[in-house]
Amino acid sequence: MLEKYKKYLQKLDQKITEYFKSQEQFIVCKPGCAICCKNSYYIVSQVEYDFIREGFKQLNPEKQDIINEKAIKIYKDRKEFLKINPDILKFTYKCPFLEDASCSLYEYRPMICRSHGLLYKDVDKENKINLPYCVDLGLNYANVWDGSTKSFSLEKMRKLGLISTPEAFDLSYSSMMKSTEDVEFGDVRMIIEWIIFDIPNYEELIKV
């Protein structure tokens, strides 16, 4: 299954690269910008983590230990958070694989990390689009987004001399999983859980 996922990932990467190219007038993603890696809950499927694990095993033991320790601390913090807020998706954290504003496993990163930064169609609400949250930080799409009206500004586009308009793509996490019949993705969990499950005697380590 992992080999099928890798082949699918190659096709997905090609598609996402084309999407980013078509939206380059609105995108400011660059090396060293890791905002999207600092405040989310990072949902990852079993097969995606199987691929991540391949990269993880290539890291030196010291880096592996640091990542494991980060994941354990985040897990403990989540347990404390849930005592006052039962909504687990409200708990966000910095990705344990983030190191010096870059991903320590970039080539092995999951699908959602590859597509993040683009507009994407909402799977539940027709004609609704989702923006990357960095738009409110003056980054992707901020040059044409009007926060007061919650819409794209034609006036801003004219001032910038833009001909094309922002486009939303079918890149929600569930859509990416459904776009191939060859891959069985398996269970979906927060990335910290997958990391912890690989640690020997993790049950003892995650006790608060």
pLDDT by residue, tens only, the chain of 208 residues: 899 999 999 999 999 999 999 999 999 988 888 889 998 999 999 999 999 999 999 999 999 999 999 999 999 999 999 999 999 989 999 999 999 889 999 999 999 999 999 999 887 777 788 999 899 999 999 999 998 999 999 999 999 999 888 999 988 888 898 888 889 999 999 999 999 999 998 777 777 6
- Any idea what DSSP says for residue 35? G
Q: What are phi and psi of 99, to 5 degrees?
A: -140, 120
pTM, two decimals, is 0.89
List of residues 6+ apart from 46 with CB closer than 8 A: 185, 186, 187, 188, 194
What CA–CA distance (Å, rounded) separates 38 from 36?
6
> Which pair of structure tokens corresponds to residue 67?
């990542």
Beta bridge partners of 121: 129
Count the residues in the chain. Answer: 208
- Any idea what DSSP says for residue 9? H
What CA–CA distance (Å, rounded) separates 142 from 164?
15
What CA–CA distance (Å, rounded) separates 128 from 24?
22
